[in-house]
Structure 1
Amino acid sequence: MTRWRISSYKGSCLPLKMPLISTLKRNSWELRRSLRENDTIRRTSNSSGTMLFVLQGYSLRNRHISGSSRLYRRRAPRPIIHSGQECEHSLWNGDIQKNCWGCRMNDLLYKLIYRSLLKREARRSIVGRNRALKNAERGKFDRGDVNVVLVNLWRHYDKLSPDIPKEPTVGARHNVRFACMTLAFYTALLEAGIEEDDAKVLINDTLWRLYKKAAFLPRLIARILTSDLKRRLRICVKTFMFFPFSEPGYKFEIVADNSSENAIAVKWTRCPKIDYLRRQGAEELCLACLCNLDYPLLEYWGGRFDRPCVQAVEHAHYCHMRFNIREEGARDDGIGQDETR
């Protein structure tokens, strides 16, 4: 049951257009004038499933009105409302349903996309591998093991998702949910008795398959537009800087680098994934399972990744990333070869 606290309101600018479900027959003007800060609106539903809103605090100041609370159908009155539980947004005009529905829609859409994608890639990456990577005596993963892990993954995701912060861009919102899914994946593997280091390897291998799908389109565009290796890398990197690593969700600047092998260098001063996992106490998980995917990503694009400074575990204020071309003789090794497992 969700509660919202009224932090402020606009007095007579609160039109109440919903029918009143109680013995209250007074004019809505009196109710508008009776709203006070710290009143509570509790969301509930009746037996028919209709969403109702209970105004608590109002009846305490109006004891002559029968009933301990007042119920309104469909919509709450229109104060500015701040939720301390499910939704972090400050809601203007009491548009509770719209904003909280938006939060749930983000999660529902994300889960709809990634349930099938992750299930497919997790099976390809994990089934048939040792449960303990350095100990064959524990046997190998089968499809049933992976299915149990995935069920527990989404159960943990549902527990973690209410704490996902709101981000200003679609790409940042997607990436924070991706980080939340990674943390849920890690927790599910630990529950299955997998060692921490082995769990990170399995997650890294699984998520790389998803990264590779996202990296294919920039690589294809770059190869169509130019044959110059540096220009190809710049196109790929700037495509990702447009989405999903775009401002203002991410903060970055392109820095000068006079090295002959460098195509582009970027200094990142804000990363929502690192910020989220740091709050969850999982900085090392971010480095092992997410940040380190940049190395195979650059190889897939035909380059070589160099990271002199990283925020995830060094507590630095920025990440310095250098996207370099490969050495002559190793430029196209393995590029374009898709995994067939």
Structure 2
Amino acid sequence: MSVAPNLGTVLTTRFAVQTLALHRTFKARERAEAESQKLIWEIAWDTYRVWRLGPLALARTIMSNPVKRLKVATDGFPCIPFGLPGYNSREVAARLNTVAVDCAGCLIAEISLRHGEGALCTATWFTLDFPPEEQWGGSLERPNTIVGGYDQFGFQCYVRERSLENAE
């Protein structure tokens, strides 16, 4: 295996491998599948929770408009570890008050699938995007996933009406 090209890719690859190792360890200790997934989600959330603080603080500092704030937070979040080359995300056209992104790869999904653990990826890392988007004033929809058989994944995050009413 070659050396990953940047810190983000190294971290993402390690998260995927550690997720698989933890899951196998829990299963070897006769933990139920759902319990293993829940424990791994909680461990991953502890890291994810810290990462989201930077983009959220930046967005709140420089933007009062909730749609622009959501865009700044969403754009800033993938830098490390979820940036190039593993994710290759790009913004796509979307409905009003929505930030939409397509990603041409996901290292965690690809490694999970390679080891027959797509459900683990879906129950853990896949769901971690929902709480930050809610906290940033949005509601996340994810119409397609790599684990679900698509060659890319996308998401749309729209600003909730309540957030728009509070805009300056």
Fold shared, TM-score > 0.5 on shorter chain = yes
Query: Which residue of 195, 209, 212 maps to 2:46?
Result: 209
Q: Which runs of 5+ in 2 are unaligned?
A: none
Amino acid at match of 1:279: R
Alignment of 1:319-330 (within 5 A): 319-328=153-162
Counterpart Cα distance in 1 of 2:162 and 2:142 = 21
Structure 1 residues 331 and 236: CA distance shift in structure 2, 3 A: farther
**Is the Cα contact below 8 Å between 2:66 and 2:164 reproduced in 1?**
no
Amino acid at match of 1:286: C
* 1:315 matched residue in structure 2: 149
* 2:127 matched residue in structure 1: 292
**Is the Cα contact below 8 Å between 2:51 and 2:77 reproduced in 1?**
no
Structure 1 residues 247 and 278: CA distance shift in structure 2, 3 A: same
Counterpart Cα distance in 2 of 1:249 and 1:193 = 33
**Residue 256 (structure 1) aligned with residue 59 (structure 2):** no
Alignment of 1:96-245 (within 5 A): 166-245=3-82
**Is the Cα contact below 8 Å between 2:89 and 2:102 reproduced in 1?**
yes
* 2:141 matched residue in structure 1: 306
Counterpart Cα distance in 2 of 1:282 and 1:330 = 39
Counterpart Cα distance in 2 of 1:181 and 1:232 = 33
**Is the Cα contact below 8 Å between 1:303 and 1:323 reproduced in 2?**
yes
SS of 2:34's equivalent? helix
TM-score, normalization by structure 1 = 0.46
Amino acid at match of 1:295: F
Alpha-carbon deviation of 1:196?
A: 0.5
Structure 1 residues 186 and 245: CA distance shift in structure 2, 3 A: same
Give the structure with higher Rg (CA).
1
Structure 1 residues 283 and 238: CA distance shift in structure 2, 3 A: same
**Is the Cα contact below 8 Å between 2:110 and 2:146 reproduced in 1?**
no
Amino acid at match of 2:56: R
* 1:265 matched residue in structure 2: 100
Amino acid at match of 1:193: E
SS of 1:328's equivalent? helix
* 1:150 matched residue in structure 2: none
Write out the 4+ residue segments of structure 1 that deviate beyond 3 Å after TM superposition.
329-332
SS of 2:77's equivalent? helix
Q: Which deviations, in whole Å up to 9, do the C-alpha atoms of 1:38-57 show, x marking residues without a partner?
A: xxxxxxxxxxxxxxxxxxxx
The answer to which structure, 1 or 2, has the higher relative contact order (CA under 8 A, 6+ apart) is 2
Aligned residues: 166
* 1:134 matched residue in structure 2: none
Greater percentage in helix: 2
* 1:274 matched residue in structure 2: 109
Amino acid at match of 1:261: N
CA-atom RMSD in angstroms: 2.0
Alpha-carbon deviation of 1:331?
A: 8.9
**Is the Cα contact below 8 Å between 1:179 and 1:276 reproduced in 2?**
yes
Amino acid at match of 1:260: L
Greater percentage in strand: 1
Amino acid at match of 2:21: A
* 1:49 matched residue in structure 2: none
TM-score, normalization by structure 2 = 0.89
Aligned sequence identity (%): 28
Structure 1 residues 270 and 331: CA distance shift in structure 2, 3 A: farther
**Is the Cα contact below 8 Å between 1:255 and 1:267 reproduced in 2?**
yes
Alpha-carbon deviation of 1:326?
A: 2.0
Amino acid at match of 1:323: C
